[in-house]
Amino acid sequence: MEHLEIFKALSNKTRLQILQWLKEPDKHFPNPHNNDFERQGVCVGYIQQKAGLTQSTISEYLSMLQKAGLLTSERNGQWTYYKRNEAAFKALSRIIKTDI
Amino acid sequence: MEHLEIFKALSNKTRLQILQWLKEPDKHFPNPHNNDFERQGVCVGYIQQKAGLTQSTISEYLSMLQKAGLLTSERNGQWTYYKRNEAAFKALSRIIKTDI
DNA sequence: TTGGTATTTCGGGAAAAACCGATATATCTC
DNA sequence: GAGATATATCGGTTTTTCCCGAAATACCAA
């Protein structure tokens, strides 16, 4: 969770967009299998479709957001589910107020 | 004050450094003429010397931080003084908590 | 095992950012 | 006015980021 790494992760329109979507996944993703988005997160494929960029690009973006600490991921079978790490955002909010 | 623009401005080691320095200017800059750093800010030249990059680079960085809303500038004679816009940091802290 | 689907990783071309030196502008002093 | 100093802007090279397609890996199901 290096500051610079976090800000770089946030310096891209699509990545910011993804974070927004994951804030209210039920609102932003179709849910044909009634997944518990809130608990388990959203799989890469859904995010990719919505973003409209290639699968590889989105995979890298998600990995980047995770390395920065803003997302957590959980593999379940052939799917990897990503969700927000709300604690990281709270921490970042505080960092901005105190450290930056 | 676009979010993306702010995060891009924060995505550079030197620019982050400058923001830190301007947080406690008396601690970080020599003050031969007893300027009121807190009130009027610090001139470009001082920041440039401390950063160790060229004058043009630092001028652009400061301009970038200002366009993002993180700094304010005030020209006084041949000097331009930059200081932090603390309100912007508070706002950003809140944005992270609520919007991002 | 074979084939199918989800995801990650790799290699690379195009676009953007970093950073520089040179030049332009603004203001001061004489 | 001329010359000096502080800062801003411009043009360009190097480095990094963006984003892609292809290939590799992981898992599942038959």
With bands split at pLDDT 50, 70 and 90, how would you rate the model's confidence at B60?
A: very high
Residue B69: list chain A partners with CB under 8 A.
none
CB-CB under 8 Å, B94 with A100:
no
CB contact under 8 A, B4 and A19: no
B13–A11 C-beta distance less than 8 A: no
List of B residues 72-91 with CB within 7 A of strand D: 73, 78-81
A-chain CB neighbours of B8 within 8 Å are 11
Q: For chain A, what is the largest distance between any 2 Cα atoms, rounded to a whole number of angstroms?
A: 44
Q: Measured from the CB, is B7 under 7 Å from any atom of strand D? A: no
Q: Are B19 and B81 in contact (CB under 8 A)?
A: no
* CA–CA gap between residue A7 and residue B6 (Å, rounded): 9
Mean pLDDT over B13-25 rounds to 97
Between CA A86 and CA B88, with CA A18 as vertex, the angle to 5 degrees is: 65
Render each residue's pLDDT in chain A as its tens digit; 100 residues: 689 999 999 999 999 999 999 999 999 999 988 899 999 999 999 999 999 999 999 999 999 999 999 999 999 999 999 999 999 999 999 999 999 9
Q: What per-residue confidence (pLDDT) applies to A28?
A: 96
Taking the C-alpha atoms of residue B82 and residue B90, their distance in angstroms, rounded to an integer, is 18
* CA-based nearest residue in chain A for residue B14: A4
Residue A2: what pLDDT? 87
Distance from A12 to chain B by nearest Cα, in Å?
Answer: 7
Q: Domains of chain A by range and CATH? A: 3-98 (1.10.10.10)
Q: What is the pLDDT of residue A1?
A: 62
- The reply to whether residue A4 touches residue B20, judged by beta carbons under 8 angstroms, is no
Minimum-distance residue to D5 (CA–C1') = B78
3-state SS assignment for residue A62: helix
Distance CA B46, CA B40 (A): 13
